[in-house]
Amino acid sequence: MKRIITTLVILSIGLVSFSQSEKKMTTNNGAPVGDNQNSKTVGEYGPVLLEDIHLVEKLAAFDRERIPERVVHPRGAGASGYFEATKDMSDYTRAVLFAEAGKKTDLAVRFSTVIHGKGSPETARDPRGFAVKFYTEQGNYDIVGNNLPIFFIRDAIKFPDMVHSLKPSPETNKQDPNRFFDFFSHVPEATHMITRLWTDLGIPKGYQFMNGSSVHGYKWINKAGKVTYVKYSWISKQGEKNLTAEEASIQQGKDWQHATVSLRKDIADKNYPQWDLYVQMIKPEDIHSFDFWPLDATKDWPADKIEKIKIGTMTLNQNPVNYFEQVESIAFSPGALIPGVEPSEDKLLQGRLFSYFDTQRHRLGPNFQQLKINQPLEDPKNYNSDSWNSAGNKRFENPDVNYQPSSKASLSEDTQYKQSETTLTNVTITQKKITKTNDFAQAGDFYRSLTKKEQNNLIKNLSGDLGQVTDKNIQMTMIGYFYQADRDYGMRIAEALGFSAKDFMKK
Ligand code: HEM
């Protein structure tokens, strides 16, 4: 009797699980799969047959599951939600998402660390990527920023070398302060970013607890073609919270994926994270009126001189259901712009305009914009065509015409959206550093704005890493930069590294 009952229970479990999965499995070419558990063999105990196409295709798909990880920012977490404008900015920009208070625009974000690989800990001292893709009715608009409002360098030509110095050594495969401080000792403009990054801002407690910035200035263009330079800031409504170096090492021992986990959890618990978006504006005629060059990415736009105006709020209310399709495959670019926003002359930004679309052709394939997460609301309409995985080339009314201009083509330009015009006089084409470098003043201002505790942590964090550098000349050059930012700052780092005034006199 007991045996009969057990058999019935087993049978009924089988029936329940059978009736739960009503949708039937198919192969990639759509044919039903009869058995997904047993390979086709020669007899019960014989070898496996190559003609088991389902098995072979399943393994082949598995073999190709990984794509190249992002060359920087490989580790990240994503979410989607919406932006709600709180102010009509149409006097300054024709960008549709900022056109009227109350206007809502869907968006997707990806937050990331920068240097280490896809499976690295989220406790690293590193800038955090803060990338937002707005799906507007005039195309996708990306603000691809970071949590800190400035960057290490001002010219894209230095970026590959900087990243090489920060990545693990090609010889030892270890990240090494000897290498990156060697690089930075030749790059005084990095002093400001180093100062911010080695405070506790360098390890945000979680993605919800960091602010964001476009870092670069962009150009807003209104309907009349008037240009305004703008810089964006995202201010976390959860408050800015960071980990000290000690807290980060405890966190790492417990759970080093905490940032991804806590973002997902807050969204799942309907505790939706929010950020307010602020804009700062500079008129073109005022752009030269500061003691720094506002289109130099190593410089902040001080809020006491250039007002921050709130223009909307972002809410994240959906977790991705497929990480690969919605986060790994999302492709952001500072070049994804819509009418009303154009690049500024920032030299770092200009290099980025090339680099992102280019790397995505390599990482995701030439038709990466046809992947669902990257598709604009309206199907793109142009005659770019073909190549690998092309699935979206529209043939329009006349499938024979894939060129333009043509008397038979169904597409034409919308001339109201021409790019803005700039008149240049007395222009020299040149290749040199900007004159107004002002490499240290803002680093000093920032140091002096810190509380005593924040300054102490900066000195501890920075001297801890700089202390690992074996070349005294590199250490002394870096100290010289910190000293030029602020005398106390430089002296304290020197003291923490065991230098005396005499050491500098000898130099
Ligand atoms: C010339 C300087 C720079 C170059 C050449 C560069 C290049 C790149 C490349 C190639 C990627 C990988 C993109 C992908 O695979 O989809 C990337 C990602 C990223 N970069 Fe940059 N970058 C530069 C500077 C910056 C700056 C200044 C910022 C911040 C304002 C920034 C923020 C980001 C972010 C947030 C991502 C990750 C985007 C995502 O989540 O997919 N980068 N960068």
| Residue 61 domain flag | no
Q: Which atom of ligand 1 lies nearest, measured to the CA of 129?
A: 35
110, 144, 296: residue to mutate for ligand 1 pocket, most atoms within 8 A of CB: 144
Segment 284-313 mean pLDDT:
98
Tell me: cis bond preceding 405? Omega within 30 of 0 counts. Answer: yes
| Residue 379 domain flag | no
Do 187 and 277 lie in a common domain?
Answer: yes
Do 121 and 266 lie in a common domain?
Answer: yes
Q: Which residues are marked as active site?
A: 73, 146
Least confident of 116-125, 261-270, 375-384: 375-384
pLDDT of residue 5: 47
Nearest residue by C-alpha to atom 9 in ligand 1: 356
| Residue 396 domain flag | no
pLDDT digits (tens, 9 = 90+) for 415-450: 899 888 888 888 999 999 999 999 999 999 999 999
Given a cut of 80, whether residue 301 has pLDDT beyond it is yes
Task: Looking at 30-171, list the stretches that DSSP marks H as alpha helix, in order from N- to C-terminal side.
Answer: 53-63, 159-166
Q: CA-based diameter of the chain, in Å?
A: 101
- Residue 46 burial class via C-beta count within 10 angstroms: exposed 0-12, middle 13-18, buried 19 and up: exposed
Distance between Cα 328 and ligand 1 center (Å): 14
pLDDT of residue 64: 94
- Domain of 461: which CATH number? 1.20.1370.20
Domain boundary (358, 374, 390) is at: 374
Do 263 and 343 lie in a common domain?
Answer: yes
pLDDT digits (tens, 9 = 90+) for 227-261: 999 999 999 999 999 999 999 999 999 999 999 99
Cβ 131 under 6 angstroms from ligand 1? yes
Cβ 190 under 6 angstroms from ligand 1? no
Cβ 156 under 6 angstroms from ligand 1? yes
Segment 63-85 mean pLDDT:
97
pTM score of the predicted model: 0.94
Do 191 and 326 lie in a common domain?
Answer: yes
% of the chain at pLDDT higher than 70: 94
pLDDT of residue 395: 61
Do 315 and 446 lie in a common domain?
Answer: no
| Residue 18 domain flag | no
Given a cut of 70, whether residue 90 has pLDDT beyond it is yes
Given a cut of 80, whether residue 1 has pLDDT beyond it is no
Do 185 and 290 lie in a common domain?
Answer: yes
Distance between Cα 223 and ligand 1 center (Å): 30
Cβ 347 under 6 angstroms from ligand 1? no
Nearest residue by C-alpha to atom 24 in ligand 1: 352
Do 245 and 339 lie in a common domain?
Answer: yes
Do 501 and 357 lie in a common domain?
Answer: no
When pLDDT is cut at 50, 70 and 90, the band that residue 394 belongs to is low
Nearest residue by C-alpha to atom 16 in ligand 1: 331
Which amino acid is located at 232 in the chain? Y
* Structural domain count of the chain: 2
Do 345 and 453 lie in a common domain?
Answer: no
pLDDT digits (tens, 9 = 90+) for 347-359: 999 999 999 999 9
Report the alpha-carbon distance of residue 413 to residue 393 in Å, rounded: 18
Distance between Cα 356 and ligand 1 center (Å): 7
Given a cut of 60, whether residue 369 has pLDDT beyond it is yes
Do 324 and 447 lie in a common domain?
Answer: no
- Domain of 81: which CATH number? 2.40.180.10
Cβ atoms 420, 219 nearer than 8 A = yes
pLDDT of residue 341: 98
Residue partners of 139: CB distance under 8 A and separation at least 6: 336, 338, 376, 378
Distance between Cα 72 and ligand 1 center (Å): 7
Question: Within 10 A of 125 (CB to CB), how many other CB atoms are there?
Answer: 18
Which amino acid is located at 37 in the chain? Q
Residue 487: give the domain boundaries.
Answer: 441-506
pLDDT of residue 295: 98
Cβ 148 under 6 angstroms from ligand 1? no
Q: At 473, is the secondary structure helix, strand, or coil?
A: helix
Least confident of 72-86, 150-164, 253-267, 374-388: 374-388
Cβ atoms 83, 311 nearer than 8 A = no
Distance between Cα 353 and ligand 1 center (Å): 10
Cβ 151 under 6 angstroms from ligand 1? yes
Q: Which atom of ligand 1 lies nearest, measured to the CA of 213?
A: 30
pLDDT of residue 10: 44
What integer best gives the mean pLDDT of the chain? Answer: 94
For residue 9, CA distances in Å to 4, 21, 56, 494 come to: 9, 19, 36, 75
When pLDDT is cut at 50, 70 and 90, the band that residue 56 belongs to is very high
pLDDT of residue 153: 98
Cβ 129 under 6 angstroms from ligand 1? yes
Do 158 and 235 lie in a common domain?
Answer: yes
pLDDT of residue 22: 82
Nearest residue by C-alpha to atom 28 in ligand 1: 145
Cβ 352 under 6 angstroms from ligand 1? yes
Distance between Cα 232 and ligand 1 center (Å): 17
Q: At 310, is the secondary structure helix, strand, or coil?
A: strand
Cβ 332 under 6 angstroms from ligand 1? yes
pLDDT of residue 15: 44
When pLDDT is cut at 50, 70 and 90, the band that residue 504 belongs to is confident
DSSP calls for 245-270: HHHHHHHHHH-TTHHHHHHHHHHHTT
pLDDT of residue 113: 98
- End-to-end Cα distance, the chain: 95
When pLDDT is cut at 50, 70 and 90, the band that residue 8 belongs to is very low
Distance between Cα 74 and ligand 1 center (Å): 10
| Residue 219 domain flag | yes
Q: Which atom of ligand 1 lies nearest, measured to the CA of 112?
A: 40
Given a cut of 80, whether residue 2 has pLDDT beyond it is no
Tokens standing for 214?
């476009």
Do 445 and 369 lie in a common domain?
Answer: no
pLDDT digits (tens, 9 = 90+) for 20-38: 568 899 999 999 999 999 9
Domain boundary (374, 409, 425) is at: 374
Domain boundary (374, 390, 411) is at: 374
Cβ 287 under 6 angstroms from ligand 1? no
| Residue 32 domain flag | no
| Residue 117 domain flag | yes
| Residue 390 domain flag | no
Segment 364-386 mean pLDDT:
93
